[in-house]
């Protein structure tokens, strides 16, 4: 078993050596990464890798995003304490926990029943009472609970579906990783009016695909 001081040293090194160099400099986000115990959201077989700069397998072809990607998305979204957040792709619940510490309410959708149950248990253990895990296909969003201040896609998609954009409040923000390997873009879309949106793509990364998002046809006739 890893000694508590070794865990804290590994967490400190993750923040200082991986996350800060990736332009994550918001002190509130950095404090949060020290507070929310990433190792509690990592499958037992991979606990030794909890702070390593890599995606971690969760089973069923799913992965946790690399810590620096989660941290940068969290910083760039600038979630406020009175906001309602929808996350698509709960995984083990770690990103939902980070969001729950910043927002008023988080609803997170996970298509895999086993992962949804694990995430629910992880979040309960972490004391996050404002995070609601639901087993559902996140590609359609959650129209019955819309509109949202923030929507986060915790994985990559070929492109952001219109149905999700329409569930944002005016002034609301959506974060996703879009495109195809070898280069994908972090994509931040702000709803600026009833039918208008502003898109920024400030950095590149690569992330595993979320389930059930259709790939656009590569054929044209």
Tens-digit pLDDT profile for residues 124-148: 999 999 999 999 999 999 999 999 9
Q: Which secondary-structure segment (H or E) carries 100?
A: helix 94-102
pLDDT tens-digit series, residues 170-199: 999 999 999 998 889 999 999 999 999 999
pLDDT of residue 221: 42
Q: What percent of the chain has pLDDT over 70?
A: 97
Q: How many CB atoms lie within 10 A of CB 113?
A: 9
What φ, ψ does residue 206 adopt, rounded to 5°? -135, 140
Per the confidence metrics, is the pTM higher than 0.75?
A: yes
The domains located in the chain, with CATH, are: 4-205 (3.40.50.150)
| Whole-angstrom distance, CA of residue 191 vs CA of residue 60 | 34
pLDDT of residue 218: 57
Query: CB under 8 Å to 29, separation ≥6 — which residues?
Result: 71, 74, 75
Is residue 212's pLDDT more than 90?
Answer: no
Residue 1 Cα to chain centre, angstroms: 29
Average pLDDT taken over every residue of the chain = 94
């Amino acid at each position: 078993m890893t000694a508590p001081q070794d865990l804290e040293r590994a967490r400190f090194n993750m923040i200082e050596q991986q996350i800060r160099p990736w332009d994550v400099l918001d002190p509130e986000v950095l404090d949060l990464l020290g507070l929310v115990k990433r190792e509690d959201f990592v499958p037992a077989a991979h606990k030794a890798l909890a702070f390593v700069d890599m995606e971690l397998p969760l089973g069923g072809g799913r992965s946790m995003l690399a810590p620096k990607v989660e941290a940068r998305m969290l910083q760039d979204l600038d979630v406020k304490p009175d906001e309602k957040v929808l996350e698509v792709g709960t995984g083990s619940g770690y990103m939902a926990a980070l969001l729950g510490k910043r927002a008023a309410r988080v609803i997170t959708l996970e298509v895999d029943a086993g992962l949804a149950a694990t995430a629910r248990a992880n979040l309960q253990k972490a004391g996050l009472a404002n995070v609601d895990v639901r087993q559902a296909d996140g590609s359609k969003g959650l129209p019955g609970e819309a509109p949202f201040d923030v929507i986060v896609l915790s994985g990559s998609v070929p492109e952001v579906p219109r149905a999700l954009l329409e569930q944002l409040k005016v002034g609301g923000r959506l974060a996703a990783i879009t495109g195809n390997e070898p280069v994908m873009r972090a994509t931040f879309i702000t709803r600026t009016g009833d039918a208008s949106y502003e898109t920024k793509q400030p950095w590149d990364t690569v992330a595993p695909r979320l389930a059930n998002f259709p790939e656009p046809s590569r054929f044209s006739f």
